[in-house]
Structure 1
Amino acid sequence: MPLEAPRTAEVQVVRYGELQPCKTAFIDAHTPGSDRKENFTIIGGGVSESPDQHVHITTPHGFNIGAAGQPPRCRNSLHSHRTAEVFFVLSGRWRFFWGRWGDAGEVVLEEGDIINIPTGIFRGFENVGTDYGMIMAILGGDDAGGGVIWAPQVIEDAKDHGLVLGENGKLYDTKEGQALPEGVAPMRVLTEEELADYPEPSTRDVLPRHVARYLDLVALADRAPVTVIGERGVLPDRPGFEVALVTRGSATRERHDHDRPSVLMPVAGHWRVEWDGGSDILAPGDTMSVPAGLSHAAWPSMEGDAALYHVVGTGDLAGATWKG
């Protein structure tokens, strides 16, 4: 049985306006086309390769919460993870693409849409909107699988722009006079034999089981919260956490609690959260961590569209692979 995350006595909130970005989080930080992106680590250590990355909440949850902010036409390079990776669009329009060269398939997501990308697939994403956009990310496991696996061409391109990734998962900027420490070799590039094990699913394969549209989920959550990602979710999977959508129609003031820390992430409207000993108001882009065992409830505090994603760990990583 997996161990429960340690309990913390207080609710913790990270405001959207207080997020601290890192512009050198990954190996492609200097590569043209990817050099203007910002990475945010909200809960857990994430997978950043930079010592400059700020972590807002370090309490283990069984999963990590992060975000990527990018101006138009800025992209995140092709990579893979050892645990599941889920994104929902907070603002803007985003193109997600996948495959060894990024041409196996793609989908464009709008605000509130969600995609569950399992392990074993190279994926990237690009802001195809007209303004700065933000996507929120959920990664399985407390250590997020130990880092990022980059497509070989990403590592090779980065060398031309001064960034070298060590086998220790840390970045070194040769343009700043940095070099790999003694005894640390460069990150190994995957062989062609290893690359052959990475699937190339088509868009037709991915859309039905790995993408859910916000407006469809809102309709499903009209009377009760809808499980989006979970064993019996709209997108069935067991990536180590469950994601549900709560709307105005399904919100209740009846309090409840969980045996693990849970996270509230509004995507539309303002939400009032009350718990034993306190209350707060959340807006889109805010992230609230509710400790295990704390009785709480959340409901919209103003008129208009209102929805939030709710995340809680399950400790079960059995489904975090591509099944074809």
Structure 2
Amino acid sequence: MTPAEMEPRIVRYGDLKPCNTAFIDAHTPGSDQKENFTIIGGGVSESKDQHVHIAIPHGFNIGAAGQPPKCRNSLHSHRTAEVFFVLKGRWRFFWGRWGKAGEVTLEKGDIFNIPTGIFRGFENIGTDYGMIMAILGGDDAGGGVIWAPQVIEDAKDHGLVLSEKGRLYDTRRGDTLPKGEKAMPLLTDEELKGFPEPTTAEVIPNHVARYWDLVALADKTPAKVIGEKGKLCDKPGFEVDLITRASATEKKHRHDRPSVLMPVKGHWRVDWDGGSTVLAPGDTMSVPEDLAHSAVPSMTGEAALYHVVATDDPAGPTWKG
């Protein structure tokens, strides 16, 4: 594969195209400065304005959220895995029906495999614009977002209505629901009972991995982060490894399905049969299936990247309580 052929599979951080109206809370004060990015796959955006950078199916989706300080993402849930790692800034993640069941603070490089089926939200508690990268299980990412009832109710006061098909309509722009289509119904009290309320102590040990702990594990071989034998032992339909300078090798390898490289620190030279490129933090590269490739740091200093590849495990609920 030539560099020109590979170029559409590389998304540079500086070329990311944000959507400011991706979700129902886009006009709600405190959440109205979010930027949503859909990098690989269709994602879960509710807006027709969302740009998709790479539409090739991978068995999972890759996205990102960029937010200024004190901006938050409202409480929602997914039917498949949602994994975040911090690219920039300092972030607080919180969960539960009202966001009070538990919380954790993540720094750069930390990764959080959020339990499936709980309401979760997050906010930038740093002093500068922050960015978190996301991996969502399945090609259809579980069919969309499930919002806590209060989020939908709050959005009505600011002109946004979500249809029963998961499409967003802005009444302030003159949008109306299509004829015969109803608004997304609120979850009933009975349905809400099906959303767990795990405590911080229950969640953190098996769902949060600190960057420096992973670096220590990656001293000779890549650290298994998410997967059957990962530090966060889970089978959400994909595996995640952390590769560092100490565990990188110039020996090429290949996968029988597309894989993704996402640097978090340092610059990385990726070589493949037919070409080479350099990735920086925030860049995302999709490597085609059966293409031999390698990745090694291209400069001195600290270097780490996350590697993601799909598995044959179903991309369904993984939280067992």
TM-score range, shorter chain: over 0.9
How far apart are the structure 2 equivalents of 1:256 and 1:129? 38
Shift in Å, 1:318: 6.2
1:223–1:250 Cα contact (<8 Å) kept: yes
Distance in 2 of aligned mates of 1:315 and 1:115: 22
- Distance in 1 separating the partners of 2:285 and 2:44: 21
Q: Secondary structure at the match of 2:53?
A: strand
1:254 and 2:265 correspond: no
Question: The residue matched to 2:299 in structure 1 has which SS?
Answer: coil
2:176 corresponds to 1:187: no
* 1:26 equivalent in structure 2: 23
The question of whether the paired residues in 1 share the 8 Å contact of 2:117 and 2:317 is answered with no
- What is the DSSP-based 3-state SS (H/G/I as helix, E as strand, rest coil) of the residue aligned with 1:193? helix
The residue aligned with 1:206 is 203
Opposite residue 104 of structure 1, the aligned amino acid is: A
User: What does residue 39 of structure 1 align with?
Assistant: 36
For residue 283 of structure 1, what is the aligned residue in structure 2?
280
> Any gaps of 5 or more consecutive residues in structure 2?
none
Is the 2:79–2:316 Cα contact (8 Å) retained in structure 1? no
Structure 1 residue 321: deviation in Å?
Answer: 2.4
Q: For 2:103, give the aligned amino acid.
A: E
Q: Compute the displacement of 1:292 (Å).
A: 0.1
Equivalent position of 1:320 in the other structure = 317
Match of 2:233 among 230, 233, 236: 236
The TM-score with structure 2 as length reference comes to 0.97
Structure 1: distance between partners of 2:173 and 2:56: 33
Q: Specify whether residues 222 and 82 from structure 1 end up closer, same or farther in structure 2 by C-alpha distance, changes over 3 A only.
A: same
State the AA in 2 paired with 1:253.
E
* One-letter identity of the residue aligned with 2:101: A
Q: What is the Cα-based RMSD across aligned positions, in Å?
A: 0.9
Indicate whether 1:145 and 2:139 are aligned. no
Could you tell me how far apart the structure 2 residues matched to 1:319 and 1:145 are?
8
Corresponding position of 1:56: 53
* Residues in 2 aligned to 1:278 and 1:318: alpha-carbon distance in whole angstroms: 33
- Partner of residue 163, structure 2: 166
Residue 96 of structure 1 aligns to which amino acid in structure 2? F
| 1:307 partner letter | A
Q: TM-score scaled by structure 1?
A: 0.96
The answer to whether 1:130 aligns with 2:127 is: yes
Q: After TM superposition, which residue ranges in structure 1, 4 or more long, deviate above 6 angstroms?
A: none
Return the match for 1:76 from 73, 77, 84.
73
Q: Which residue of 2 aligns with 1:304?
A: 301
Instruction: Please list the CA deviations of residues 34-67 of structure 1 after superposition, one character each: whole Å capped at 9, or x if unmatched.
Output: 0000000000000000000000000000000000
- Alignment correspondent of 1:6: none
User: Conserved in 2, the CA contact under 8 Å of 1:238 and 1:319?
Assistant: no
Q: Distance in 1 between matches of 2:180 and 2:83?
A: 35
Aligned residues: 316
- Equivalent position amino acid for 1:117 in 2: I
1:272 match: secondary structure: strand
| 1:237–1:320 contact (8 Å) kept in structure 2 | no
